[in-house]
Amino acid sequence: MVDRASPLIRATSDTPPYPNAFASLAAHRRSCRSSSAGDRAALREGTITVRPGSGDGILGAPDSLIHHWFAAALIPGVSLDQVVSVSRAYRDYPTIFHPVVSARVVSDEGVSLRVAFRMKESAAGMSATLDMASRVAYSRPNARHAYVISNTEEIHEIKDVGEPTEQRLPAGRDSGYLWRAGAFTNFVEEDGGVYMEMETIGLSRPFPTMMGWMIEPIARRIGRRSVEQSVEEFRQAVLKRFATRR
């Protein structure tokens, strides 16, 4: 069985300036286990299951917070090859995922890619436009199983977006909306479709001391909704492209 979180932790824990927070996740997380029979039944009925990846979804770390979520869904009537083709169609991401403003493949070595994203995000009273440089790795252990590991190598917040004064802020010298991000996406072709599991990890600044009691429940709801929305948007994109063609 693949350890879904450890590749994310290894890939990010040695990247300054925030090594300790991701390393500490290993001591706290619980593995996102394969779906139970009850979960599978719910997924076959079209339900998206969502749960915290660790604790209640938000973990304290040295001078930071870790946001860790898991979601699963069944994409019916499609093949694994079709699903992977949509996953790799990065130029289409702005029409698939609501937060993605633009996406560009910087290099493509087949199983490994580097992709540049511009994202516009809002959460817990904060909003930010982010330029993200991500390393993405694809693996196909067998004909019916594929997984994708995505890790950000750089995140820069953009100030004065669309204005003549637009500028990229230095990494780590911004609002702290998002400092690091990673995702593990697992695809398994079974039961007349493809099961999709997505686990996301994000690192941000802590909540302000006097506002944490108010912001944290909002951030938790947004984190849950974000991973659920990502899975649903991807599922709909696959179904729109392929469901009637098999």
Rounded CA separation 31/63 (Å): 24
Domain that holds residue 152: 6-242
120 located within any domain: yes
75 occurs within a structural domain: yes
d(CA 188, CA 194): 5
**Predicted pLDDT at 35:** 53
Which region among 3-17, 44-58, 188-202 has the lowest average model confidence (pLDDT)? 3-17
CB-facing half-sphere around the CA of 51: CA atoms within 13 A: 16
Q: Is the pLDDT of residue 243 over 80?
A: no
**Letter for the amino acid at 243?**
A
Mean pLDDT of the chain, nearest integer:
76
**Contact of 180 with 15, CB cutoff 8 Å:** yes
Distances (CA, A) of 45 to 38, 75, 76, 141: 11, 11, 10, 27
Is the model more confident about 29 or about 223?
223
Q: What is the mean pLDDT of residues 208-213?
A: 40
Instruction: Classify residue 141: in a domain, yes or no.
Output: yes
Domain contains 46: yes
The CATH number assigned to the domain holding 210 equals 3.30.530.20
Helix (H) or strand (E) holding 131: strand 126-142
- Rounded to whole angstroms, how far apart are CA atoms 79 and 87? 13
CA–CA gap between residue 188 and residue 72 (Å, rounded):
11
**How many structural domains are present in the chain?**
1
Rg (CA), the chain: 18
pLDDT band per the 50, 70, 90 thresholds, residue 126: low
Task: Evaluate whether residue 1 is within a structural domain.
Answer: no
pLDDT in the model for residue 174: 59
- The string of pLDDT tens digits covering residues 47-97 is 999 888 777 777 776 666 778 889 999 999 999 999 999 999 999 999 999
* Phi, psi angles (nearest 5°) of residue 95: -95, -10
What pLDDT is attached to residue 185?
Answer: 92
- Does residue 189 fall inside a structural domain? yes
pTM of the predicted model over 0.85: no
Burial class (CB in 10 A: 0-12, 13-18, 19+), 196: buried
- Confidence band of 134 (pLDDT split at 50, 70, 90): very high
